[in-house]
Chain A
């Protein structure tokens, strides 16, 4: 189910939070909305869900006006009633008029897919971060909505739970027979989970399309930075370098890095510093000579993109 925005503008206290002249998100795909904090990602999601009404323009789901009943929304925060997991899963189904027998089978299936069957009688508001996130996903899954919106689904989790869900989420997302739009500030998560990318910075869409196309053709600084690329000036040209493409030693596109910090990671050495004014990090193999803090090392980029 396609989602489209036409002339959408959201303002609050005189500040423009979102300004999207036109955007089409293709149905049946996983779309990541990527951007730094405060870029309007959550506002975009809220407009699509009908939670925020734009001051101008409109969003449409499958060509129809937005309707919460066609949406399943996974909030960034864990929001539950002070009741059991079962009650929390059932609430949305009750509110949408699903009959009791159907409710039971949907809940059982969602609980099985998300691995929360053993949690069904526990108080939802007392679950751990990882358990709560699974219950939130299960609540969305059992609604069987044609559009699923996920707001920073891995934010605020402890490291082991994060790592676990990071690997599991693509599989879990596949369980939703729906268009999936997820919001994240992490380029790693966006590239891992999504088929399409939308890059949103300062409330404006700077790129949208198939992820490979966006990631290999960032065009402008905002997109490159949102993707986590280092943006440096070289011979008067603005160059974007993916972090993994910056290597020590000479090459076709060479830079000099001023070393600020050297961290011994045993298996490698992480060196943080600056190319001009741009802060960069590079990992040196253990066989390399460890540079001194305040010194300079030569780097090259084995992959880069020229920006406008």
Chain B
């Protein structure tokens, strides 16, 4: 098994690619999802509950369905076919971003709603501006927000359907750990598939541990 890991240079590329694709998608989902979740948690408006209902449904959306929709958009005959993004890492990032965003928005909203309802009012009367208020609230909700990032990263790093559909599982450009596991399993290379599976678990553990340390820091 050690031999397998050290001799196969493709392996490192797959691990790095997995990290880059899922890491980028998670970062994008956080950039979009945190402010959206903050806005939904802090403001009351008509249709808020319905919107949250849609977001919560999105949290359980099958990745392969998201992949199919993105494929239909990006395929050459689709509305964005001209961008020539199908079967690229960008397409995979886009699909994973769409999977992760409802998770980030939903969990962020819930984390911020769990704070004392008048906390933002307190910060206002103490003299905090909008940005300071947002930062202090985020810090107060850091347990929930760190769990949000972990859940989002965990969901997309482990998904296979969307990556397979929009990335095409091309060996040198779009193969990631999950699609590689499927490929090796179908080839009967069970040892290699198992190693990849363990690496995927290890990768998820390392990222989650880092976030847990941030989360639990006083």
Contact = CB atoms under 8 A, between A and B. Distances in A.
Interface string B122-147: 11111110001000100010000000
Contacts of B117: 77
A81 interface: yes
A69 B127 contact: yes
Contacts of B189: none
Interface string B108-123: 0000000011110111
Interface residues of A, number: 20
Interface stretch (A21-29, A91-99, A168-176, A263-271): A91-99
B118 A75 contact: yes
Interface residues of B, number: 15
A77 B116 contact: yes
Contact of A51 (B119, B125, B132, B140): B125
B129 to A, nearest CB: 9
Contact of A49 (B116, B123, B125, B140): B125
A57 to B, nearest CB: 21
Contacts of B116: 77, 79-80
A122 to B, nearest CB: 14
A104 to B, nearest CB: 18
Interface in A42-60: 46, 49-51
A231 interface: no
Contacts of A46: 121
Given A51-B124, A68-B125, A71-B125, 15 more contacts: A50-B124, A68-B124, A68-B127, A69-B127, A75-B118, A75-B121, A75-B122, A77-B117, A77-B118, A81-B136, A81-B140, A91-B136, A95-B123, A95-B128, A143-B126
Contacts of A72: 125
Interface string B174-186: 0000000000000
